[in-house]
Structures are given as structure tokens and as C-alpha cells.
């Protein structure tokens, strides 16, 4: 009799779990065409070996086509457990410079377990592959290839200590291996803690949110000679970033989100690559279920702690300072249940007091693109 009771309990549990299990998936594929200016973010003038190269030699621009696809799967196994999987892939084809085209793949798996009404455990694993040729040296003392393979994981907790106040904390680890360039190879390990605290409340039937999102992390670079795999270049950098934000709904369809960010890096070995960055931002979001528009604008000032700016005559007695204005807009309008028209605009304009034409890094540049396309969703 006891055995029969145990079997009955197990059967009831399985039936209840299956009955509660909720599966949901979504799939989208889209394409767009446009034009991108200066996609390698080069300055307008650089002198090499005594020869002055200007925009026509330095700046790469092209008509492009984007192709992208995304798949998402959610399985709410029972009242306490949920699994989410996502896979995305995108490619940008530069028709005037086909060799500069690139693609990216992003795989993620998430699991959360609800301990009680106020607390959940969170876990995530991720894999990213960026296949792109070229070097990026516009923003950093460490010139790196644009192509890489990255994987990582995180785990943490989400709690609601008081009503309408959420705290989320995650520890994370990432490993990135850049594509080899010449006989050189570059990689890094990073680990850290990310946390956010958000308070939500209602006013006139509209949901407001105010909070802070922050992280601290350590990044350890190794530079290898690909011929013998002996490390001959090391970087030990600490990062910290915090963003204050306020999600302010002006109507049921329109929301404004002002923010302010502070970002810093500490160079623990050479004490030359540290910086402090700060600045405001604002995003505007409109959504009436048919038309969606999301735009953002930010202005960031980055001051290096011990790296001096130069002009064509030498040092100018100031540390390098870059000011960057970023603007982005994404819009979509549904034609029917499956098809949408899309549009995107992006602009990044950087000014710098480092004007030495013998150097490429830390210089002023403009990078902009715009395109229109279609999106099919299932």
C-alpha cells in the first residue's frame, strides 16, 4: 500500500508539472540596406614615414546590407523553474569593400529558480563569435584585432527585500581570445561583480522606475608570440562603472529615461592607461504595439590619468581628453502580424585634444550609418 501511495504521488507530481509547463518560442529574420561612413573609425589625417595620408586613404566607407536572424525559447517548467535559450546571428556586407564584411553569432542559455516570492537564483552561460578582419586602435593603448571568440558565465541572486524594490547581484567570468594578427596573439580573462537596485512605483496609473546599475571587474591581458606561445606582454586593469537612471513614463506609450554614468579604469602595472569617464545620457521610447521607436543620446568625457596629449609640435601640457557624442535610433512599423518595416540611424562623433598627426590612437573621428529594411517575425 505504501508503494502504491508513493507511485501515486510521483504520478500526480509529473502530471502536475507537465500540466503547468509552459513553452514559448519566437523567431525573426530581417535584412536592411544603408551606408556606413568610416567604419574603422580612423582620423582624417595620419603621417607615416614622413608621408601625409588624408581621408581618401584612411577612411573606409561603403554601401552595406545587414542580414540577421534570432531565435528564442522559453520553458517555464513549473512555478519555480524557468529555462531560456537564445541564438542570434548577424552579418554586415560592405558591397564596395567585400573583404571588410563581417558576421557575428551569439548563443545564450539562462536558468532561474524561484526560492520563494521574494528571492530567485539566476545563472547564465554565453558564447560569442565575431568574425571580422582589421585592427581597432582608436580608443585604447592596446591595439586589438576586431575578430574574437568569447565565452563566459554568471550566477547570482534577485531579491525583493521590500515591496517594489529589487536588488540583483551576479558574479561573472569572461574569456576572450582575439584572432591572431601576424605572429601576435592577444587574449584576456575578466571576472567581477555586477549589481543593480531598482525601485518601482505608480503615479497616475503609470509605472516609474529609479535605480542604479553598477559593476566592478578585473581584466588580465596576455600578449603572445604565436610562434612559441610565450607571453611577452601583460596588462592588469581594474574597471568600475555606475549608472543612475530614472524611467519616466509620460503616457502609456511614451517613456523618457535620463541617466548619468561614471566609468573608471586603473592600470595596475604601468599606471599609464587609467582614465575617468563621465557624462549624461537620455533615451526615448515609444511603443503603441504597431509602431516602436527607441532612441538614445549620450555625451561622455574621458580623461586619461597620466597619458599626455600632443600636437604636431610635441606635448601640450595636458592629459589626453576625449569627448564623445553618441546617437542611436531604431524604429519599426508593423505591416501585418508577421511583417514590419525597420529603420536605424547611428552616429558617434569624438573630439580630442590629442592632435598629433603621427599618431592614430586617441584622435578625433566620426562614424555614422543609416539604413532601412524589413523584418519577418513568427
So what's the pLDDT on residue 36? 98
pLDDT single digits (tens) 339-354: 999 999 999 999 999 9
pLDDT single digits (tens) 289-323: 899 999 999 999 999 998 888 888 888 889 999 99
- Strands (DSSP E) contained in the chain are 22-37, 46-48, 51-53, 62-76, 81-94, 102-116, 119-131, 135-136, 144-145, 148-162, 165-178, 184-203, 206-225, 230-249, 254-267, 275-287, 291-311, 314-334, 339-352, 365-377
CB distance 63 to 73 below 8 Å: no
Alpha-carbon distance of 309 to 360, in angstroms, equals 12
Whole-structure pTM value: 0.86
CB distance 243 to 212 below 8 Å: yes
Residue among 266, 192, 175, 185 at smallest CA distance from 222: 185
Q: How confident is the model at residue 270 (pLDDT cuts 50, 70, 90)?
A: confident
pLDDT single digits (tens) 71-92: 999 999 888 999 999 999 999 9
Going from the N-terminus, what domains does the chain have, and what CATH number goes with each?
A: 22-377 (2.40.160)
CB distance 231 to 243 below 8 Å: no
Alpha-carbon distance of 369 to 89, in angstroms, equals 20
Amino acid at each position: 500500500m505504501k508503494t502504491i501511495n508513493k507511485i501515486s504521488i510521483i504520478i500526480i507530481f509529473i502530471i502536475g508539472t507537465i500540466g503547468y509547463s509552459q513553452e514559448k518560442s519566437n523567431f525573426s529574420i530581417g535584412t536592411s540596406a544603408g551606408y556606413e561612413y568610416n567604419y574603422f573609425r580612423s582620423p582624417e589625417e595620419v603621417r607615416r614615414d614622413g608621408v601625409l595620408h588624408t581621408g581618401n586613404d584612411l577612411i573606409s566607407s561603403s554601401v552595406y546590407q545587414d542580414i540577421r536572424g534570432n531565435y528564442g525559447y522559453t520553458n517555464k517548467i513549473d512555478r519555480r523553474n524557468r529555462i531560456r535559450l537564445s541564438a542570434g546571428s548577424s552579418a554586415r556586407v560592405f558591397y564596395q569593400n567585400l573583404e571588410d564584411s563581417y558576421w557575428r553569432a551569439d548563443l545564450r542559455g539562462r536558468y532561474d529558480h524561484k526560492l520563494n516570492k521574494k528571492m530567485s537564483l539566476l545563472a547564465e552561460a554565453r558564447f560569442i563569435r565575431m568574425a571580422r578582419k582589421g585592427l581597432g586602435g582608436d580608443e585604447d593603448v592596446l591595439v586589438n584585432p576586431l575578430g574574437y571568440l568569447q565565452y563566459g558565465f554568471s550566477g547570482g541572486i534577485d531579491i525583493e527585500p521590500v515591496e517594489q524594490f529589487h536588488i540583483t547581484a551576479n558574479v561573472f567570468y569572461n574569456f576572450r581570445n582575439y584572432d591572431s594578427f601576424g605572429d601576435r596573439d592577444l587574449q584576456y580573462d575578466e571576472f567581477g561583480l555586477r549589481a543593480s537596485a531598482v525601485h518601482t512605483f505608480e503615479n497616475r496609473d503609470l509605472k516609474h522606475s529609479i535605480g542604479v546599475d553598477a559593476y566592478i571587474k578585473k581584466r588580465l591581458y596576455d600578449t603572445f608570440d604565436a610562434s612559441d606561445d610565450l607571453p611577452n606582454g601583460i596588462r592588469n586593469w581594474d574597471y568600475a562603472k555606475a549608472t543612475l537612471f530614472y524611467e519616466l513614463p509620460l503616457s502609456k506609450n511614451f517613456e523618457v529615461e535620463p541617466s548619468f554614468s561614471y566609468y573608471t579604469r586603473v592600470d595596475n602595472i604601468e599606471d599609464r592607461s587609467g582614465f575617468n569617464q563621465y557624462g549624461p545620457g537620455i533615451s526615448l521610447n515609444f511603443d503603441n504595439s504597431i509602431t516602436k521607436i527607441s532612441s538614445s543620446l549620450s555625451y561622455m568625457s574621458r580623461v586619461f590619468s597620466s597619458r599626455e596629449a600632443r600636437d604636431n609640435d610635441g606635448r601640450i601640457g595636458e592629459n589626453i581628453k576625449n569627448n564623445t557624442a553618441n546617437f542611436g535610433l531604431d524604429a519599426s512599423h508593423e505591416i501585418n502580424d508577421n511583417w514590419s518595416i525597420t529603420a536605424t540611424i547611428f552616429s558617434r562623433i569624438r573630439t580630442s585634444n590629442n592632435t598629433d598627426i603621427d599618431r592614430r590612437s586617441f584622435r578625433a573621428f566620426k562614424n555614422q550609418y543609416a539604413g532601412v529594411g524589413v523584418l519577418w517575425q513568427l
